[in-house]
Amino acid sequence: MKPLKNKNQQKFQFKYMSPHIKSPKQVEYSITRSLSYTTTPLKEIIANYSEISQSNLCKKSFRFEWKKEPKNVLIIKKWKDEKTTKMAIELINYLKKLHLIVYIEPSTSNELKEGIPFTETQKSNLNELIDLLIIIGGDGTVLHACTLFPQQELPLLLAFHYGTLAFFSVFDFKEYPKQIKTVLKGNFEVTVRARLLGQVYSEEKKLKTEYECLNEFVISRDGPWLSRLDCYCDDTFFTTIQADGIIISAPSGSTAYSKSAGGPMVCPNVPGILFTPICAHSLSNRPLVFPDCAVITIHIPNTSRSESAIISVDAKKQGKLLRGDYIVITTHKFSLPCVNKINTNTDWVTGISAILHWNNLISQPDLQFRSFDHFENIENSSDLDSDDHLGSDDGRNEDLD
* Catalytic (active-site) positions: 139
CA distance 218 to 199: 13
H helical segments located in 34-80:
54-57
Rounded Cα gap, residues 161 and 249, in angstroms:
24
- Host H or E run for residue 227: strand 227-233
Per DSSP, the three-state class of 86 is helix
Q: How far is CA 296 from CA 113, 245, 270, 273, 394, in A?
A: 46, 15, 18, 9, 68
Choose among 156, 208, 237, 394: nearest CA to 318: 208
What phi-psi label fits residue 163: left (phi over 0), alpha (psi between -120 and 50 degrees) or beta?
left
Distance from C-alpha of 393 to C-alpha of 33, rounded to nearest angstrom: 74
Q: How far apart are CA 320 and CA 311, in angstroms?
A: 5
CB 193 within 8 A of CB 259: no
How far is Cα 306 from Cα 124, in angstroms, rounded to an integer?
Answer: 39
- What are the contacts of 317-322 at 24+ separation with CB within 8 A? 318/211, 319/200, 319/209, 319/211, 320/222, 321/200, 321/219, 322/202
Task: Give strand pairing partners of 48.
Answer: 30
Crossing angle of the two packed helices 82-97 and 176-185, in degrees rounded to 10: 50
Assess contact for 324 and 311: CB atoms under 8 A.
no
Contact (Cβ atoms closer than 8 angstroms) between residue 30 and residue 17 = no
Give the span between the Cα atoms of 347 and 168, in whole angstroms: 10
Find the farthest-apart pair of alpha carbons in the chain and give their distance in angstroms, rounded.
Answer: 101
